[in-house]
């Protein structure tokens, strides 16, 4: 994606704060210590104790029977879709959701599973009516609709528990399974003062990312019923995701879940403060959702504003159509002040 180019060494050294994404966070000394001291085994043999502990922890947090550690959210989501669908099947998904837009078409390329995109509103939400209408009849002209794939948050926007429940019930009434890309589900939970399990009563599988707001260097966990997770385990191997002494990485996830969940509220507060500061500039249109701020400048000024901000050592998303600015544990209130000042000068 434009604006996410690889930086040279000199550029890295000149960066004062990186707002491009919450994926840029780096392990703290305490997290690194937990990683170094982790007890490990061979996870392909199923005997890495730290991985098993992480998986049990996520299963408990999500209220699901089982969980499975993956190298990435893309791999986790792909395994989930392929666990629910066979080649030639169809799944319904929001037209702006990550699995459809930003995961290289893996479900179709590697699984032969057809995505059917549904229009979303300004909050990234689907409607129950759209889901009902999109389910295909049992007609040989159509693929079989097997799955509804949801997301929370969507570009920072919380999908309410009531909506997730409604969509899940509608899908199940139509005989569909339900997967939730919950890469930032903890942001939704903290924003609404709920447990993540509250969003998952009508969801069969959920992918939880550890390497975004939670600050681990790598990894996602897929949770669901034991039978589906068993299928996902085989698919993980097929996808090249079988790793060995991966407990060192799982330890980072355990540390993140124990120390970095509640602090997501700080990211939301910094994003709100940033939005208010930038909103004072008459020419900017500013929108905030949990830990993300989207800034739209006049068309003729977008590139020059972007270059001005970046020249100050502040990395942000590309300016077309809106600059995405993401708050996370590696940017503090001082960095927020620097960004507000850069946009005001």
Average pLDDT over residues 49-58: 98
What CATH architecture applies to the domain 9-25+263-344?
Answer: Alpha-Beta Complex (3.90)
Q: How far apart are alpha carbons 222 and 58 in whole angstroms? A: 8
Confidence of residue 3 (pLDDT cuts 50, 70, 90): very low
Q: How far apart are alpha carbons 150 and 188 in whole angstroms? A: 14
Average pLDDT over residues 13-21: 89
Instruction: Write the DSSP symbol of residue 228.
Output: H
Confidence of residue 6 (pLDDT cuts 50, 70, 90): low
CB 225 within 8 A of CB 216: no
Query: Quick check: helix, strand or coil at residue 60?
Result: helix
End-to-end CA distance of the chain: 27
Q: Over pLDDT 70: what percentage of the chain?
A: 96
Q: What is the pLDDT of residue 343?
A: 72
Q: Does pLDDT of 265 surpass 60?
A: yes
Confidence of residue 41 (pLDDT cuts 50, 70, 90): very high
For 304-345, what is each residue's pLDDT tens digit? 999 999 999 999 999 888 999 999 999 999 999 999 998 777
Q: Give the C-alpha distances (Å, rounded to integers) separating 54 from 4, 42, 57, 208.
A: 31, 15, 5, 12
For 311-320, what is each residue's pLDDT tens digit? 999 999 998 8
For 60-92, what is each residue's pLDDT tens digit? 999 999 999 999 999 999 999 999 999 999 999
Look up the CATH number of domain 38-259.
Answer: 3.40.640.10
State the residue for tokens 């434009």. Answer: 2
Q: Does pLDDT of 298 surpass 70?
A: yes
Listed by start position, the domains of the chain span: 9-25+263-344, 38-259
Q: How far apart are alpha carbons 210 and 171 in whole angstroms? A: 28
pTM value is: 0.94
Q: What is the pLDDT of residue 76?
A: 98
CB 199 within 8 A of CB 180: yes
């Amino acid at each position: 994606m434009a604006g996410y180019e690889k930086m040279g060494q000199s550029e890295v050294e000149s960066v004062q704060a990186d707002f491009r994404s919450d994926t840029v966070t780096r392990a703290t000394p305490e997290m690194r210590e937990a990683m170094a001291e982790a007890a490990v085994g061979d996870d392909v043999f199923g005997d890495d104790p730290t991985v098993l502990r992480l998986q049990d922890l996520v299963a408990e947090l999500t209220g699901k029977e089982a969980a499975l550690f993956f190298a990435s959210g893309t791999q986790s989501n792909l395994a989930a879709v392929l666990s629910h669908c066979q080649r030639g099947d169809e799944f319904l998904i929001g037209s702006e959701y990550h699995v459809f837009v930003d995961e290289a078409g893996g479900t179709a390329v590697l699984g032969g599973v057809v995505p059917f995109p549904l229009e979303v509103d300004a909050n990234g939400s689907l409607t129950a009516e759209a889901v009902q209408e999109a389910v295909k009849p049992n007609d040989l002209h159509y693929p079989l609709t097997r799955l509804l794939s949801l997301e929370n948050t969507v570009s920072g926007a919380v999908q309410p528990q009531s909506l997730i429940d409604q969509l899940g019930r509608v899908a199940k009434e139509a005989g569909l399974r339900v997967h939730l890309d919950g890469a930032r589900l903890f942001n939704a939970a903290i924003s609404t003062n709920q447990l993540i399990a509250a969003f998952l009563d009508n969801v069969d599988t959920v992918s939880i990312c550890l390497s975004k707001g939670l600050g681990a260097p790598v990894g996602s966990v897929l949770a669901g019923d034991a039978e589906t997770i068993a299928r996902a385990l085989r698919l993980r191997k097929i996808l090249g995701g079988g790793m060995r002494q991966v407990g060192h990485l799982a330890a980072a996830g355990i540390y993140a879940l124990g120390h970095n969940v509640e602090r997501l509220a700080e990211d939301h507060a910094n994003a709100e403060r940033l939005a208010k500061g930038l909103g004072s500039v008459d020419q900017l249109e500013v929108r905030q959702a949990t830990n993300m701020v989207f800034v739209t400048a006049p068309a003729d000024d977008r590139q020059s504003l972007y270059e001005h901000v970046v020249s100050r050592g502040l990395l942000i998303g590309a300016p077309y159509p809106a600059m995405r600015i993401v708050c996370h544990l590696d940017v503090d209130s001082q960095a927020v002040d620097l960004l507000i000042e850069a946009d005001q000068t």
